[in-house]
Chains A and B, each alone.
Chain A
Amino acid sequence: MHAKRLTASVCTVLLIISLVLSACGSSESSQKSGEQKLDKDQTLNLFFESPTTLDVNDVRNSSEFQLLTQVQEGLVRTYTDKNGKEKIEPAGAKSWKITDNGKVYTFKLRDYKWSDGKKVTAQNYVDSVIRLLDPKKAFAYAFFAYDIKNAEKYNAGKAKAGDVGVKALDDNTLQITLEKPTPQFNKKFGFVALFPIRLDVIKKGGETYATDYKAQVFSGPFIIKSWVKDNSLVLKKNPKYWDAKNVHLKTVNFKTVEETSTQASLFQSKQTDVIAGTQQYIKKWAAEAKQGKIQYIHGNTPLTSYIVFNQKTGGTSGLLKNAKIRQALSLAINRQDLVKLVFGRYRPAYGLIPNGIQVGDKDYRDDVAQPLKPLYDKYNGNKSELQRLFKEGLKELGVNKKLGDVTLTLITTGTDALSKSEQEYYQQEWEKNLGIKVKLNILESKLFVADRNANKYDLLLNGWFGDYNDPSTFVDMWTTNNGFSKFFGYYSSKKYDQLYQSLDGVTDDAQREKIYAALEKQLIAEDAGVAPIYYGDSQYFVQNYVKNISFPLFGTPIDFSRTYISGKQ
């Protein structure tokens, strides 16, 4: 039951999260409100997990992204069109220009107001960036602003707040200067952690600011009306919102519902308007969608799930430092069967970077073949070949052991039935194909952290949920001594590091794509530093009367700021 509290950026457990987090897709009807007749009752009912904070700088998991993007307004807002293509539209910013070879961003802000009537100023944005980077505050997403000049230094306590490259030129003009030209910043500045803040309100709110909705001021399309923690939350339309005339929903009800079958009952009886499909429900509802009873919105999600190998100590068995052994473990998993049997969704993964991630405006996966696929096809589940590979690894290590005497430990956190099926599947695949023994250790999340930090594992399950639409969000964390390496088995490779270095200052998209492909191949195929298992996807079912709803790839799972209800009665 714990996965829901984890961060969106580092999904320590993905399996459950992914159902909640999944994003992207298209709405059948795009922006054409006004053409259709609106119902009298403009209420939207959704599921959610209770957020832990209302502080935009402190944002960590998807339920917070979901809520904060709808009650606050950042520089831009992302909608999706019919084909699931994202469309970034100006929101808090009216327009912006990029100068100095991509190093300086200058934003013209819109005239818009907080819910207490005060104007949103450029200084509010500046305050937000500075507070996000404040070393004393220790916000998890501080690293996200590292592209900005002197940001990393300030966050490390090596520069002053005044040195950070963010300035309010006047009330309506915000200027951000980057450390060096970074093309992907273009896709990052709409991020929740960079939303404007009000220092006076935060100060007045004191210790309880982050969790007391009554202490907040809002700049977005909705305001929070009531909140019962871990149970329900109600939003009301914000009458002071700059585009209030295009916000049609009057009330949005969020409810926490634990059991999948209960969620299904609620959706089928139209007591809930949007649901993420799982397993058999997808088939059932997709058939209903074909008959036009409901809308089926599906697409990619920037998520790759991994099996992580302990390369720091070689694990409790001491074997995981060997590339051939890792390769054998990676190739022994039949991913196609897994996604079909266990999940009933997702795509088998033979690479690092999932579908839907773009370099510039081209899909990376359309251009680059998955590096593990040829190797996987070569072995094709052949037991004796896989076992030979594993034995070669043992020989290289000088370990004189029969396969039957090898025991590997897999630690995970998922305790629900779905995760259990997945874990048992891996266990069976390794035991069947490699003839080794695998011990499953399913732990409560804090115990998991303890075992992982003490290196009491050979294998663990993890995954990565991209933060912005560029492959760099997937390749960044594999460099030696990266802050994230303890979550991913301390992969370390000189070749990978060198390749990564060569990215520095490269702004040409084709050139970047080549380097990303080389990095991916090195990590997944050559070194088998991690085993990719599946790519996420989004499978949303929406009632017919819900119009103009967006499922962006990044940030919030659902954007309903311009949604309206038509034809429910």
Chain B
Amino acid sequence: MELTNISFKKYRGRRLDPDQLAGHSVTYWKDVWRRIRKNPTAVLSLAALMIILTLSVIGPIISGHDLSTINPKRANMNPSAENWFGTDNLGRDLFTRVWYGARASVIVALVCTLIQTVVGCLYGGIMAHFGGWVDEVMMRVIELITSMPTLLITILTMMVLGNGMTALLVAMSITSWCGTARLIRGQIMQLRESEYVLAAVALGASPFWVILRHLIPNTFGLLMLTIATSIPDYIFTEAGLSFLGIGLQPPNTSLGVLISIGQQTMDFFPIQLLFPALILCVLVLAFNLLGDGLRDALDPRLRQ
């Protein structure tokens, strides 16, 4: 028998309890969480991240030194009971500076990722929702942005906006949302065609309900992955820009700034390079490993 529109009628009876329709997504997430917990590297990196994040909040407080006070008598000291990570060339406490810098680096990375995700989701959602020529035009815009050299756009944006936190955030996320938008668009389009969404629509679920209950949870995994891999990218980009002298202004500091300073004295005081570089590497490594664990956990092909 051939199936046509006439073969089906929209259900007009009492609305079904939506939870009955969506009950499965909960176990999916439980499953993901279970598999992450079983992955030792992921758990370890999660723990490392927690420690770094905690220290970046309380580190500057417990050190008993402040960020910028210069102490000519204690310049270039090795680690000691007084200065746990030693001091820099102006006698400032490195422990305070490193954690303060880590805080700035993480905040920059998080905010940029947030901008990227929000803009990307909105843009991608609009593309997927409207389709047709709207999709076509918006896709062209993305293609344009991605075919321009990123470094050029970033540097020029910084020059137009001037140095500082806001400018840095804008300059770093100005091109990055394109990937997210593309991803979301693809995912939504794919999901919309999937059987269970069709079934939900056929069963009378409102578009709002479909988005809330099906589209968002099912793109969430992918989003988490993008977020986990974007953060280390931003931390690197910020560090790279610091070398070009672009970015945060003193007395503010970041891991990138500290590394670029430490690098100049590494022949004599390797410790001044070691600590910021080590924390940057651990931070990035933890995010990368977590992302990798997440990728495995989310990948149905690897499900056992």
- Name A's B-contacting residues (CB within 8 A): 1, 259-261, 264, 279-281, 284, 334, 337, 340-342, 415-418, 420-421, 423-425, 427-429, 432, 440-444, 447
- Residues of chain A within 8 A (CB-CB) of B260 are 416-417
In the bound complex, CA of A17 to CA of B265 (Å):
19
Instruction: Decide: A441 and B163 in contact? CB cutoff 8 A.
Output: yes
In the bound complex, CA of A260 to CA of B246 (Å):
20
Instruction: Decide: B266 and A261 in contact? CB cutoff 8 A.
Output: yes
Instruction: Decide: A447 and B159 in contact? CB cutoff 8 A.
Output: yes
- Residues of chain A within 8 A (CB-CB) of B266 are 261
- Residues of chain A within 8 A (CB-CB) of B69 are 428, 432
Instruction: Decide: B91 and A341 in contact? CB cutoff 8 A.
Output: yes
- Name B's A-contacting residues (CB within 8 A): 68-70, 72, 75, 89-91, 159, 162-163, 244-246, 249-251, 257, 260-261, 263-269
Instruction: Decide: B263 and A341 in contact? CB cutoff 8 A.
Output: no
How distant is B14 from chain A, measured CB to nearest CB, in Å?
66
- Residues of chain A within 8 A (CB-CB) of B257 are 420
Specify the main secondary structure of chain B where it touches its partner.
loop
Which single member of A279, A284, A427 contacts B251 (CB below 8 Å)?
Answer: A427
Instruction: Decide: A447 and B245 in contact? CB cutoff 8 A.
Output: no
Instruction: Decide: A420 and B75 in contact? CB cutoff 8 A.
Output: no
Instruction: Decide: B249 and A418 in contact? CB cutoff 8 A.
Output: no
Task: Give the top 4 A-B pairs by smallest Cβ distance, nearest first.
Answer: A415-B245, A417-B261, A280-B268, A337-B72
How distant is A341 from chain B, measured CB to nearest CB, in Å?
5
Instruction: Decide: B70 and A260 in contact? CB cutoff 8 A.
Output: no
Known interface pairs A281-B267, A428-B70, A447-B162. Does A421 touch B90 (Cβ–Cβ under 8 Å)? yes
In the bound complex, CA of A425 to CA of B92 (Å):
11
Most chain-A CB neighbours within 10 Å: which of B75, B249, B266, B269?
Answer: B249
- Residues of chain B within 8 A (CB-CB) of A261 are 263-264, 266-267
Given A417-B264, A428-B90: 15 more A-B contacts, CB < 8 Å: A1-B245, A261-B263, A261-B266, A279-B268, A281-B267, A337-B72, A341-B91, A342-B89, A420-B257, A420-B261, A423-B250, A425-B90, A428-B69, A441-B163, A442-B245
Known interface pairs A342-B90, A447-B159. Does A420 touch B72 (Cβ–Cβ under 8 Å)? no
Instruction: Decide: A442 and B163 in contact? CB cutoff 8 A.
Output: yes
Contacts A/B (CB < 8 Å), 22 sampled: A259-B263, A261-B267, A279-B265, A279-B268, A280-B268, A280-B269, A340-B72, A341-B70, A341-B75, A342-B90, A415-B246, A416-B245, A420-B250, A420-B257, A421-B90, A425-B90, A427-B68, A429-B70, A440-B250, A441-B163, A442-B163, A444-B159
How distant is B268 from chain A, measured CB to nearest CB, in Å?
4
Instruction: Decide: B261 and A421 in contact? CB cutoff 8 A.
Output: yes
How distant is A252 from chain B, measured CB to nearest CB, in Å?
27
- Residues of chain B within 8 A (CB-CB) of A337 are 72
Closest residue of chain B to A422, judged by CB?
Answer: B90
In the bound complex, CA of A420 to CA of B260 (Å):
11
In the bound complex, CA of A11 to CA of B15 (Å):
78
In the bound complex, CA of A151 to CA of B75 (Å):
53
In the bound complex, CA of A420 to CA of B251 (Å):
10
How distant is B161 from chain A, measured CB to nearest CB, in Å?
11
Instruction: Decide: A421 and B163 in contact? CB cutoff 8 A.
Output: no
Closest residue of chain B to A444, judged by CB?
Answer: B159
- Residues of chain A within 8 A (CB-CB) of B264 are 260-261, 279, 416-418
Closest residue of chain B to A279, judged by CB?
Answer: B265
Closest residue of chain B to A418, judged by CB?
Answer: B264
Which single member of A259, A260, A341, A442 contacts B90 (CB below 8 Å)?
Answer: A341
In the bound complex, CA of A261 to CA of B69 (Å):
27
Instruction: Decide: B245 and A424 in contact? CB cutoff 8 A.
Output: no
Most chain-A CB neighbours within 10 Å: which of B69, B90, B266?
Answer: B90
- Residues of chain B within 8 A (CB-CB) of A440 are 249-251
